[in-house]
Amino acid sequence: MRITAIASLAALLLSTDLSAASAAGETTFWLDQVDLKAIKQRRGVPLANLAVGGGKLIMDGKTYERGIGTRSISELVLDLHGEATRFSAVVGLDDSANDRKREGTVRFEVWVDDKQAADTGILKVGDAPKTFDVNLTGARTITLLLDDGGDTSNGDLANWANARIELASATSRRPTPYVARPAPMPKIASTTSSKPAIHGPLVYGATPGRPFLYRIPATGAGTLRFAADSLPAGLRLDPATGIITGQLAKEGTTDLQLKVTNAEGSATRPFRIVAGQHKLALTPPMGWNSWNVWGTAVDDAKVRAAADWLVRSGLASYGYNHIVIDDAWTSGRDDKGELKPNEKFPDMKALADYIHSKGLKFGIYSSPGPKTCGDFQGSYQHEAQDAATFARWGVDFLKYDWCSYDDVAQDRSLAELKKPYRIMGNALAAQNRDIVFNLCQYGYGDVWKWGGEVGGHMWRTTGDLLDMWANLDSVGFRQAGRERYVSPGRWNDTDMLVVGPVGWGPDLHPTRLTPDEQVLHITLWAMQAAPLFIGADLSKLDPFTIALLTNDEVLDVNLDVLAKAGGRVWSKDRTEIWSRPLADGTIAVALFNRGLDSHRIEARWSDLGLKGTQPVRNLWERRDLGNFDGGYAIEVPSHGAVMLKIGQAK
DSSP 232: P
* DSSP code per residue over 307-363: HHHHHHTSGGGGT--EEE--SS-EEEE-TT--EEE-TT-S-HHHHHHHHHHTT-EEE
> Which of helix, strand or coil describes residue 418?
helix
Distance of CA 142 to the CA centre of its chain: 27
Assign 3-class secondary structure to 83-151: CEEEEEEEEEECHHHCCCCCCCEEEEEEEECCEEEEEEEEEECCCCCEEEEEECCCCCEEEEEEECCCC
DSSP β-ladder status, 218-219 and 252-262: unpaired
Exposed, middle or buried, 481 (CB in 10 Å: 0-12/13-18/19+)?
A: exposed
Strand partners, 87: 134, 165
CA 130 to CA 517: how far, in whole Å? Answer: 32
Strand partners, 415: none
Q: Which residues contact 9 (CB under 8 A, 6 or more apart)?
A: 44, 45, 47, 52, 54
CA 11 to CA 457: how far, in whole Å? Answer: 44
CB 409 within 8 A of CB 426: no
Q: Which residues contact 171 (CB under 8 A, 6 or more apart)?
A: none
Phi, psi of 589 (to 5 degrees): -130, 130
**What is each CA distance from 338 to 118, 387, 508, in whole angstroms?**
54, 11, 34
Closest CA to 379 of 404, 396, 362: 404
Which of 94, 327, 396, 401 is catalytic? The answer is 401
> Which of helix, strand or coil describes residue 228?
strand
Closest CA to 528 of 472, 483, 466: 483
* DSSP code per residue over 168-179: SSTTSPPPEE--
Question: Quick count: other Cβ atoms within 10 Å of Cβ 457?
Answer: 26
Q: Active-site residue 542, yes or no?
A: no
CB 494 within 8 A of CB 440: no
DSSP 225: E
Which of 464, 467, 473, 493 is catalytic? The answer is 464
**Cα end-to-end span (Å), the chain:** 45
Q: Active-site residue 401, yes or no?
A: yes
Q: Which residues contact 60 (CB under 8 A, 6 or more apart)?
A: 92, 95, 128, 129
Catalytic residues: 401, 464
